Structure 1
Amino acid sequence: MVPADASPRVFAEASLSPNTIRAYRSDLRQFARWRAGFLDHEISEPHELERISTAPVDPTEVAAFLADKANAVLPDGGQRYAPGTISRYVAAIDWEHARRGHTPPGSTPIVRDVLKGIRRTRSVPVRRAKPMTLKALQTTLLKIDVADLQTGALGTRDQALLLFGFVGAFRESELTALTIADLRLVDGEGVYARVRKSKTDQDGVGRIKVLQQGANPVTCAPCAYVRLSRLMAAQDALGEAGLFAALTGASLAVHVCADGLGAERLPPSMPFFRAVSKWGLFRNTGISPTAVGKAVARRAHAAGLGEDGWSGHSLRAGFVTEARNAGATDVEIMNQTHHTNAATLQIYDREYAPLVRNAVTRMRL
């Protein structure tokens, strides 16, 4: 929250997300380390960088920094820094200059040309997440035990996490930001999930995603919502005994979405996806975006789908892939993913569904 007596600088920084600010500050530390003469493998202490200015800096020095990073290699000969990372360094340096009233170096010809040259000569294939298609999702969910007294809480949470991520095409940060107040069960339709702020909605206008009821209880997101809500409420009301009682006889084989949330209600401000202790009990704290990817990879591996390529983005990529293969239009997909540019969807077409809208399919080969 911005305090009532906030300065103009505080408001200016509030124009960017906290994650962006943290990333910029981290990148500026890298620039400060370089200016101080530290090599990549050398450790620097905070006090050693205190007097190192990152703005204003002559554009030729910024260009030298970028070239040095572009030329850095790993022990195996691979590039240490991708062009995207180097571009982010320029954005951070420009931000620091602009907020201090100086001309951003990235707008000068020398920095602009050096960056363009790095992109052309140091480009590397982007490693994209493996899409978790509907078949893979079903296989994964069926391997989750939601009745075990030791792991049932984690299993119930992960089952809901994967379903929400796929059906709602959520970003990891959007999933972990969901609170009890953001979710509403609508009879005959499904779960309405309010995304209060996202990558493409930094002003916090908010939008609704609908998690539709599924014919199969295993892939019915409203069932997962009810199951997890009632389980957390049981523990919060009656402790460990309440949790164990709710886990007894739990199953993914039958629909529970029509049962409602029950008499016990959770606090509106509580995170919906809560951390689970090593004892199998829900904590009051939410999970991090990183935990989403770990859950996807862990569950996919347990289902025999391999270890490589899985991440939190696999769920969103899987949704777009399945939607495209089903003939969904750009507008229909964007209504759920909340992409703001249809051109972004072409990346998914190239990577995950290359035969969709491809002229080769019209040929009689």
Structure 2
Amino acid sequence: MTVPVGASPQVFAEASLSVNTVRAYRSDLRQFARWRAGFLDHEISEPHELEQVITAPVDPTEVAAFLADKANAVLPDGGQRYAPATISRYVAAIDWEHARRGHTPPGTTPIVRDVLKGIRRTRSVPVRRAKPMTLKALQTALLKIDVADLQTGALGTRDQALLLFGFVGAFRESELTALTVADLRLVDGEGVYARVRKSKTDQDGAGRIKVLRQGANPVTCAPCAYVRLSRLMLAQDASGEAGLFAALTGASLAVHVCADGLGADRLPPSMPFFRAVSKWGLYRTTGISPTTVGKAVARRAQAAGLGENGWSGHSLRAGFVTEARNAGATDVEIMNQTHHTNAATLQIYDREYAPLIRNAVTRMRL
């Protein structure tokens, strides 16, 4: 976020967290305010009805009652309405609100801490993780995209680049959607250098580079996808719909285009690289949201006959780690691309997506 000159200490304090984190905290605090105001889960509340509801300071026993109420809430089918992770997030939001107003965070008190621990032990449910989009699945999905169709070619070209960038660069959804034209640079003989200016593990914005290397197959060559999408957006921006249609005519994934470069013209540096597409099949000047990444993955997977369930934006990142593990990559090699800061996190991927990697059972002659 941008902080103006003369900003107050409170503004700088809020800038210590990402915009998404602050937005999530405020959303969770609204849930707490609704509960304090007496609204049930299915009841609709108007903003003015919550304006006078205090969310800090609140007695820890009341916070504990709120958590227990959420833990006991059930859906019509009998399932849990709120997962322990969601309830833990509520505590984080309430603690944040108390701390920033100079009060003791309820989450540090024995009653809240013990109630939360009990909820985690008795209400735990298996975490539903994204289905990894492996290289074979990625190729299958990409080959089903028609980048020459006059109605859907703009969307197809964007999605093809989106899926390739997400997989090869092991990007988080928020990192993908934050990329601007200025963040990307085509390096001859190597690939595309992508600067991630800020991420989940780099809130201070020091920035790091991901390299999207050239692929032997033009279908899975990220630099080729970068060139195709750049040229197509340039054609539309220069000559409108006619320019876009002319550029789509004869477009193909069968040949490499990365060696040809971008040409003399360039897109505005500050423009989002992954732009929204209108219902008429034209590029907008606005960027896409992280949610759009997941929708694109699910849409392309379903169109390729890979099933409807389990796909999300994280499928690309999970697919990269899975393929890297199967290829024998070390923790350091994987982390150089994923930008994980803790190797222990990769063990989650091992357990969920590649359970035979570094598993003693593979040494047994069964």
TM bracket (short chain): over 0.9
Separation (CA, whole Å) in 2 of partners of 1:303 and 1:33: 43
Shift in Å, 1:304: 0.6
Instruction: Compute the displacement of 1:248 (Å).
Output: 1.0
Residues in 2 aligned to 1:228 and 1:186: alpha-carbon distance in whole angstroms: 17
SS, match of residue 298 in structure 1? helix
How far 1:187 sits from its partner (Å)? 0.4
Q: 1:118: how far off? A: 0.3
Give the deviation of 1:46 after TM superposition: 1.3
TM-fit CA distance, 1:45? 1.3
Q: Is the 8 A contact 1:234 1:264 kept in 2?
A: no
Following superposition of structure 1 onto structure 2, how do residues 5-154 of structure 1 map, counting pairs within 5 Å? 5-154=6-155
- Counterpart-to-counterpart distance in 1, 2:46 and 2:222: 48
**CA displacement, residues 268-301 of structure 1 (integer Å, 9 cap, x when unaligned):** 0000000111111111011110000000000000
Distance in 2, matches of 1:164 and 1:363, equals 38
Q: Deviations over 1:65-86 (max 9, x none)?
A: 0000000000000000000000
- Aligned partner of 1:206 in structure 2 is 207
- Give, in angstroms, the shift of residue 263 of structure 1: 2.1
Mean CA deviation greater in 127-136 or 31-40: 31-40
Alpha-carbon offset, residue 156 of structure 1: 0.4
- 2:150 aligns to what SS in structure 1? coil
C-alpha distance in structure 1 between counterparts of 2:264 and 2:281, whole Å: 24
Within 1, Cα distance between the matches of 2:359 and 2:60?
A: 45
Question: Could you say what secondary structure the match of 2:194 adopts?
Answer: strand
1:238 is displaced (CA, Å) by: 1.0
Is this contact kept in 2: 1:129–1:311, CA < 8 A?
yes
Moved more, 257-266 or 164-173: 257-266
Deviation at 1:11, TM superposition (A): 0.3
- Equivalent in the alignment of 2:176: 175
Matches of 2:34 and 2:283, distance apart in 1: 42
- The alignment partner of 2:167 has SS state of helix
TM-score between the two structures when normalised by the length of structure 1 = 0.99
More moved, 9-18 vs 42-51: 42-51
- Name the residue aligned to 1:311: 312
**Residue 54 of structure 1: how far off its partner (Å):** 0.5
Instruction: Return the offset for 1:327.
Output: 0.3
TM-score with structure 2 length normalisation?
Answer: 0.99
CA distance, structure 1, for counterparts of residue 351 and residue 335 of structure 2: 17
Take 1:233 and 1:46, find their aligned partners in 2: how far apart are those partners?
44
Local SS of the residue matching 2:58: coil
Bigger mean CA offset, 45-54 vs 282-291? 45-54
Deviation sequence 1:327-347 (CA, Å, 0-9, x none): 000000000000011111001
Q: Is the 8 A contact 1:132 1:314 kept in 2?
A: yes
Other-structure match for 1:343: 344
SS of the aligned residue for 1:94 comes to: helix
Give the distance between the partners of 2:62 and 2:280, measured in 1 at CA: 54
CA contact (8 A) 1:106 1:112 kept: yes
* Distance apart, 1:264 and its partner CA: 1.8
Preserved CA contact (<8 Å) 1:60 1:111? yes
- Cα root mean square deviation, aligned: 0.6
The 1-side partners of 2:193 and 2:124 are apart by 41
Whole-angstrom distance in 2 between the partners of 1:185 and 1:231: 16
Question: Deviation per CA, 1:46-99, whole angstroms, max 9, x where unpaired?
Answer: 111111100111111100100000000000000000000000000000000000
Equivalent-residue separation in structure 1 for 2:46 and 2:134 (angstroms): 46
Deviation at 1:158, TM superposition (A): 0.4
Compare 235-244 and 209-218 and name the one that shifted more: 235-244
Is 1:267 equivalent to 2:299 in the alignment?
no
**Contact kept in structure 2, 1:237 and 1:264, CA below 8 Å:** no
Over the matched positions of the two proteins, sequence identity in percent amounts to: 94
Q: 1:191 touches 1:211 (CA, 8 Å); kept in 2?
A: yes
Moved over 6 A (4+): none
Alignment check: 8 A CA contact 1:270 1:284 kept? yes
Deviations 1:19-49 (A, max 9, x none): 1111101111111111111111111111111
CA–CA distance in structure 1, aligned partners of residues 301 and 48 of structure 2:
44
Deviation track 1:204-234 (CA, whole Å, cap 9, x = no partner) reads 1100000000000000000000010011001
- The alpha-carbon deviation at position 262 of structure 1 amounts to 1.4
- Most deviating of 93-102 and 37-46: 37-46
Tell me how many residue pairs correspond in the alignment. Answer: 364
Q: Secondary structure at the match of 1:184?
A: strand
What CA distance in whole angstroms lies between the structure 2 residues aligned with 1:285 and 1:49?
A: 33
